[in-house]
Structure 1
Amino acid sequence: LFFVNTRDTAEFLSSRLAAWYQDPGIGVHHGSLSKDVRVQMEDEFKAGRLRALVCTSSLELGIDVGGADFVLQYNSPREVSRLVQRIGRSGHGVGEVSDGVILATHEDDVAEACAITRRALAEEIEDLVVRQDNRSVLANQLVAMAVSERFASLDEAYGTVRRSWPFRALKRADFDEVVQQLADLRVLWSRDGRLGRSSNSLPYFFENISMIPDVKTYRVVDISSRRAIGTLDEWFVAENAKLGESFIMRGTAWRFVEFKEDHILVEPVREIGDVPSWVGEDIPVPFAVAQEVGRLRRERDLAAYPVNGRGAAKFLEYLASVGDAPLGTDKRITIETARDVIIVNACLGSKVNETLAQLISSLVSARFGQSVGLQTDPYRIVLEVPRSVNPQQIVEILRPEDPDALEPLLRVILKNSAFLRWAFVYVAKKFGALRRDVDWESVSIPRLLKTFENTPLFEEVLDKVFWERMDIPRTVDVLRKIRAGEIEVVVTRMTPVGRAGLEGGRLLVTPSKADHATLMAVKARLEKESATFLCLNCKMSWRDTVRDLPAKIRCPRCEALMVAVIAPYEKDKVAKLDFGGTDKESRSKAKRLFTNASLVMAHGKKAVVALMARGVGEDTAARILRGYHETEEDFLRDLLAAEVTYARTKRFWD
């Protein structure tokens, strides 16, 4: 089994491995594949027809995948428990030994993998901590009670809920507020100390029968080739998908062109955009693991760790590359600057760094009145800031007078943050404020956030973000240690270790214009089309594949050159058209057909290719064909631009 951390990586590696080895014995398994495909892969692996299966956490838990001889983990598994679970898929029997290896592609991953493997061998597994008083779960169970019993006593419902361990300390006031919120949303009915079902209770109940996030995905289709290039999750579409906005997928920048019910049309662009990710895929690195990486940086000794010589040498070279500059460790935070970028090197793990990043970016943005770009990983916070920001101001933020004020401060400054939007989508569905099939083109998340401010739903959004993406108690402890001098904060120059946060391990391809591969995809698509022709002389119609057409188009019956390209559904109507008709509609259709046929007569197959492009009519085709094209690619580039323009604007005049 070949475990990876994301679906994109699974697809990328499986396709490359299959191409390199020309081996059909390599499969792929992840959550975006259909159930039939996943079951097929599992069955073929069990039967031994597949020698390797590239997979995500979809094969990590709960499924008998049969006997695996060996496990590969591509880059750090990020958690000790995850490594144990994955390596444990090999040697899965009494008395057998589980065998596997981590392949690290970056020096940070080498150190992280060292820390995780040492902790796994020492049986230092992360504690399982359960969230308390989850309002989304409470809302779901209250509606279930209302559905199962015609009328239920609120006192009895409260007592029932508190018998569950995570709700043992639930306050009655918080319980009543959630009941009232659900009643206001008409998801249930509540009056005189009782609750019952409303007309919306059953639809809500069946849509939300599980608390597992029901994340809708949209296929992303390249407008040039009409091929699917990946999928985007609903939360990313809700937050980022606006016409004209750009994003990154498969290492390439794309721009949103058109939204369909189940897919999105995009075009390749030059600028860098947002990086789509999937809720639940970005596994957080625990504080303890990141601190051990910091200790490895400080001590520079890997003798006690199960790492090979090459991995150890690469890590030590990486540390030596900073020269005499101070290095971020478990006991030191460094702040590096370069132009409009500030990098905070902090070995504090994913959640603490995310908490500090939100604090710093919000306060800097409020102070300077400008937006602050933000990116975090377990060892860095990367800030794109106004040039007037002094790194010493970041130091001041990390030394607050009262560290205990962090949570109330974050509750205020995050209220209008885009950071909350992904959580709002989930919580709003669980409270019945949004339907599962919500149309994101007609919904404004910022407006909804404002509407639900100071409600139990909004408090649940904040609590969910604090629990899943942040670690406030540990961050408070870090801030206290900074104030006490136990963790030093140092401003320094840019180093290779800090700069690694800017690279992010991603290869970004940013073509200045449609590249050769894109244009050849356009050509291949158009030449695969089947064109319908009408001879304006003898009225014969026929079909032919564009690829098979001669350079000059003639009627096969009378050999006339006045041949028009028509839509298949027009064939019968156009054949009966009276070209000598005097009514306005007949004259208009005849003029269009003669213009069309004139283009085909003058430009031959090239005109047919132009007229087969989506949204390209006679006028647009004439304009493109009149233009100067030094190469075939110039011609195809103009056709692609016309298709993109049509896709962007057709909703205004369809």
Structure 2
Amino acid sequence: MGEASDLIDRNIAELLVKRGFDTLSDTQEKAIPPISAGNHTLCIAPTGTGKTESAMLPVFSSLLHTGGGGFKAIYITPLRSLNRDILFRLEWWCSELGLTVGVRHGDTSTSERTKQSKKPPDLLITTPETLQALFMGKNLREHLKNVRYVIIDEIHELAGNKRGAQLSVALERLIPYAGNFQRIGLSATVGNPGDVASFLTGNRPCEIVNIPAAPSLSIDVRYAGGSFTSQSKAVEKAIEREDSTLVFVNTRVTAEALGHELFGRGDVDVHHGSLSREVRIEAEDRFKEGKLKALICTSSMELGLDIGHISHVIQFGSPREISRLLQRVGRAGHRLDTMSYGTILATGFDDLLESGVIATRALQNECEDLLLSRNASDVLANQIAAIAVEYGEISVLRLKEIITGSACFQDAGGLIERVILQMAEHRLIWPEGGMVARTGRCRKYLYQNLSMIHDEKKVKVYDIVSRRIVGTLDESFVVSFIYTGAVFITKGQLWQVIVLEDGMIKVEPAHKLKGELPSWEGEQIPVPYGIARETGRLRRTRNFSDYLSDGASISFAESFMDGMDHAGSPVPSDNLIVLEHFDEGVVMNVCGGHKANEALGRAVSVLLSARSGSSVGIEVDAYRVTFRLPKEITATAVMEALKNLEPAHIQGILSLSLKRSSLFKWKLVQIAKKFGAIDADADYEKISIHRLMDLFDKTVISDEAFRELFSLKMDVEKAAEIARRVQSGETGVTIAPISAIGSEGITSSRDLIPPPSTDHAVISTIKKRIENDSILLFCMNCRKWKSKTVVGRVPDDIVCPLCGARLIAALKPYEDDQIAIAKKKNKSKEERAVEIKMIRNANIVLSSGKTAVTALAARGVGPDTASGIIATMAKGDDFYREILKAERNYIRTHRFW
């Protein structure tokens, strides 16, 4: 053991040996001294280097000698799943040391909450949102008075968003109870540790322990082929080489598609946020037990969940960001003093070059800056309401002192005044005489808004062919894009909307139609401006061997560029924008990254639309903006719009155009809900968007909607830099026909697996589904025999085993009550009509056998419709097409019957 072990209690040092630690890690050696000295500390280190113990060993040492009741240390994680994992790890230490530990989050039982209220544990593991709730109860507030430590795990996951901004104020609210408690932050690699430290401490002195990740990383970049089949085979080969592999993908669509390709192996499973908690835990446990050789996952596995030893990490497609690559590859090894081995399997030319740039920067220990969420007015509204509930009444001056102690709101004094006035309009607080008092509505508002995560309903998508729920869509996507006849993509397939009813979207597979990508799975991980620029420079210099070591991958890149040369196509780069024309519009090739291209593309589209009087559609990725244009708008017009775009005017142009967009309207509703201006559970269908826009125009609510869109979705500053470079001539602009690079914006999305929903696949699905549908067979002759089976098991020749008759009705399971009617001797007029329909049903089966049973098993198909299907004389696949047509018609029309 090193010097750090001398700073912790002897009992803990002995337990380290019992736990199997012969030495402390470099991270622990460097982090334990400042934490033991009582300094606020930010520890930045790779995954698996013992960050949790770095914080908790000195904390435990202190707690052994800390008397009194109440919570003594609070350990905050961004996810409930991490709560469970941390509890498992720290329970052992606490039980050995005679300390108590508990978990509290949204799923904690009432009995456990009551127990904690009466006898709080020494160490409480919780989430940022549940910390907010601790301030609301009188007994719980008393238990906060003995807090000596607050540890924030995975702090990089919080510092850049509104959850983090809310947490930063909560830490300031804790001071009046606990005094100057010690703050400890645990983080993955970030480019600006100083800003993250200020987020943790509110600009109080903070010691930063920064352990570089690069020395313990080995990253290989390889081209995996141009088809999904070849790519999945490359993944499988890489899995075979190791005993345990995490395969990271960027979207849930890709996770499911890749999982489908490899599922037959039996030792591969999928893990992502749309799966239930139980399913995720089962996959984690199976991986940990060695029953799985690989786990295909999204960002759900980036954080430090303990799932056992990981030999190797595969990144399928570019990781898009250096920080993401470091976090993911860092999962490999996950033991002290081991190398982390990772492989990026690139899926195309852009992907390969971008991956090479990111891997090179990662190995040079570079990382993106993390931008704090500053002056978010809806967070202010939330925390002003929380403080009002906590104190009942408080002076505005004291309110400002508490809030501006946070680095996220240190200069928000004037904004606080505006937010207070806005909240008073909605009767959340009463400001009077320099004081702010809560209202009766305030507590209810707070209970509905403990979290700054926008509450968004999930709308189920129901496939009428397979008769199952195939996924969910965010309510915002439904509001903006879904209507009868609309086509969209989910689960890697195209779907066409039949009808919206019963709170769900009923769909059927679509063919050869363009579709929107649902927002929950189409949220692109944005490629930063700097990465896109360097990738553009690599296109220009072609020094591929400086970024790639695999010979086959270098050859692919060189042959791709040779193909561009052979076609006479100019290569878009960091200093050349190429406008390529095609049948439906123009691809503007610009290496600006997602956010800059989003801002630049939207601004140019506004100018084009204003000049032509026609609407202009845009699609954006990190290297191109695709404009869908009317015939009269040419590439020359796009060039003029780009060259005449004043850098200083971009934000103004975007602000005006955004007001008319569905994106802004929906963001306005979200912010208004967080302000209490709209009830949290209000149904969007009953909200007048136009009225809201008039009501909130030029208020802090609309200002916040703009602030969030400009900070999260667009980079106006970098877009302006591109426009400035165009005007100065540093970046050239030329026009050319569509090329291999430009066509990427038309024909593919790097994260979208080509949908396999051919006509044959649809027919196969409906055939399989009907064969497995339950059916009731009932003899209309003796009226005694009844049999429940599935359609696939029904014989071609259907005979009653009791009386030998062939007059057999085929009923759906929910029509079982009709059998009781058929057996009755004295029937009413309505019951006689039911009997006649059953006889009609049996006659169809008598004449057409199993074909009739198959038709009658379909949804909404009765005797008349079944007769119509059979009368078409359709055979094979055509027969099932007729069934699908009948089901579709039923779905569309039955609500009018």
TM-score, normalised via structure 2 length: 0.67
CA distance in 2 between counterparts of 1:153 and 1:65 reads 49
CA distance in 2 between counterparts of 1:189 and 1:569 reads 61
Say if 2:248 is the partner of 1:3: yes
The residue matched to 1:49 in structure 2 has which SS? Answer: coil
Equivalent residue, structure 1, for 2:300: 58
Give the deviation of 1:177 after TM superposition.
3.4
CA distance in 1 between counterparts of 2:390 and 2:521 reads 32
Equivalent residue, structure 2, for 1:35: 277
Q: 2:583 is matched with which residue: 302, 327, 339?
A: 339
- Are the structure 2 counterparts of residues 520 and 482 from structure 1 closer, same or farther at C-alpha, using a change threshold of 3 Å? closer
Give the deviation of 1:261 after TM superposition.
6.1
Equivalent residue, structure 1, for 2:821: 573
The residue matched to 2:497 in structure 1 has which SS? Answer: strand
Equivalent residue, structure 2, for 1:622: 867
- Are the structure 2 counterparts of residues 588 and 144 from structure 1 closer, same or farther at C-alpha, using a change threshold of 3 Å? same
Runs (4 or more) in structure 1 with deviation over 6 Å come to none
The residue matched to 2:549 in structure 1 has which SS? Answer: coil
Q: Which amino acid aligns with 1:27?
A: D
CA distance in 2 between counterparts of 1:587 and 1:453 reads 65
- Cα distance per residue 1:30-49 (max 9 Å; x no partner): 11111122222223323333
- Are the structure 2 counterparts of residues 507 and 91 from structure 1 closer, same or farther at C-alpha, using a change threshold of 3 Å? closer
Q: 1:601 is matched with which residue: 834, 846, 853?
A: 846
- Are the structure 2 counterparts of residues 432 and 62 from structure 1 closer, same or farther at C-alpha, using a change threshold of 3 Å? farther
Q: Which amino acid aligns with 1:320?
A: D
- Equivalent residues of 2:429, 2:438 under 8 A apart: yes
CA distance in 2 between counterparts of 1:236 and 1:252 reads 17
Q: Using the aligned pairs only, state the percent identity.
A: 38
Counting only pairs closer than 5 Å after superposition, residues 292-441 of structure 1 correspond to structure 2 as 292-323=534-565, 324-400=568-644, 402-421=646-665, 423-424=667-668, 426-434=670-678, 437=681, 439=683
Q: Which amino acid aligns with 2:650?
A: L
- Are the structure 2 counterparts of residues 533 and 452 from structure 1 closer, same or farther at C-alpha, using a change threshold of 3 Å? farther
Q: 1:142 is matched with which residue: 365, 373, 384?
A: 384
Counting only pairs closer than 5 Å after superposition, residues 108-119 of structure 1 correspond to structure 2 as 108-119=350-361
- Equivalent residues of 1:530, 1:543 under 8 A apart: no
Q: Which amino acid aligns with 1:571?
A: I
CA distance in 2 between counterparts of 1:532 and 1:433 reads 54
Q: Which amino acid aligns with 2:443?
A: L
The residue matched to 2:340 in structure 1 has which SS? Answer: coil
Equivalent residue, structure 1, for 2:470: 229
Gaps of 5+ in 2: 1-245
CA distance in 1 between counterparts of 2:820 and 2:424 reads 59
Say if 2:340 is the partner of 1:95: no
- Cα distance per residue 1:398-433 (max 9 Å; x no partner): 234642122122111110112335534543432335
Say if 2:364 is the partner of 1:122: yes
CA distance in 2 between counterparts of 1:312 and 1:450 reads 56
Say if 2:257 is the partner of 1:12: yes
Number of aligned residue pairs: give it.
643
- Equivalent residues of 1:532, 1:541 under 8 A apart: no
Give the deviation of 1:439 after TM superposition.
4.4
Give the deviation of 1:222 after TM superposition.
2.3
TM-score, normalised via structure 1 length: 0.91
- Equivalent residues of 2:779, 2:809 under 8 A apart: yes
The residue matched to 1:61 in structure 2 has which SS? Answer: coil
- Equivalent residues of 2:818, 2:834 under 8 A apart: no
- Equivalent residues of 1:292, 1:330 under 8 A apart: yes
Give the deviation of 1:134 after TM superposition.
0.7
CA distance in 2 between counterparts of 1:551 and 1:191 reads 84
Q: Which amino acid aligns with 1:593?
A: M
- Are the structure 2 counterparts of residues 188 and 91 from structure 1 closer, same or farther at C-alpha, using a change threshold of 3 Å? same
Q: 1:169 is matched with which residue: 406, 411, 435?
A: 411
Gaps of 5+ in 1: none
CA distance in 2 between counterparts of 1:426 and 1:139 reads 13
Give the deviation of 1:541 after TM superposition.
5.2
Give the deviation of 1:228 after TM superposition.
4.0
Q: Which amino acid aligns with 1:387?
A: K
Q: Which amino acid aligns with 2:555?
A: A
- Equivalent residues of 2:284, 2:307 under 8 A apart: yes
The CA RMSD measured in Å over matched residues stands at: 2.7
- Equivalent residues of 2:544, 2:557 under 8 A apart: no
The residue matched to 1:237 in structure 2 has which SS? Answer: helix
Say if 2:769 is the partner of 1:521: no
The residue matched to 2:334 in structure 1 has which SS? Answer: coil
Give the deviation of 1:160 after TM superposition.
2.5
Q: Which amino acid aligns with 1:165?
A: A
- Equivalent residues of 2:841, 2:863 under 8 A apart: yes
- Are the structure 2 counterparts of residues 63 and 508 from structure 1 closer, same or farther at C-alpha, using a change threshold of 3 Å? closer
- Are the structure 2 counterparts of residues 278 and 642 from structure 1 closer, same or farther at C-alpha, using a change threshold of 3 Å? same
- Equivalent residues of 2:430, 2:439 under 8 A apart: yes
- Are the structure 2 counterparts of residues 34 and 287 from structure 1 closer, same or farther at C-alpha, using a change threshold of 3 Å? same
Say if 2:488 is the partner of 1:247: yes
CA distance in 1 between counterparts of 2:388 and 2:785 reads 65
CA distance in 1 between counterparts of 2:691 and 2:401 reads 36
- Cα distance per residue 1:183-222 (max 9 Å; x no partner): 4444555556544444443343233212234444344332
- Cα distance per residue 1:510-561 (max 9 Å; x no partner): 86xx723322322332232332344444433513323332334444433444
Say if 2:745 is the partner of 1:501: yes
Q: 1:269 is matched with which residue: 495, 510, 521?
A: 510
CA distance in 2 between counterparts of 1:192 and 1:649 reads 62
The residue matched to 1:520 in structure 2 has which SS? Answer: helix
CA distance in 1 between counterparts of 2:891 and 2:431 reads 49
Equivalent residue, structure 2, for 1:613: 858
Give the deviation of 1:447 after TM superposition.
6.4
CA distance in 1 between counterparts of 2:559 and 2:458 reads 42
Comparing 366-375 and 71-80, the one that deviates more = 366-375
CA distance in 2 between counterparts of 1:64 and 1:525 reads 39
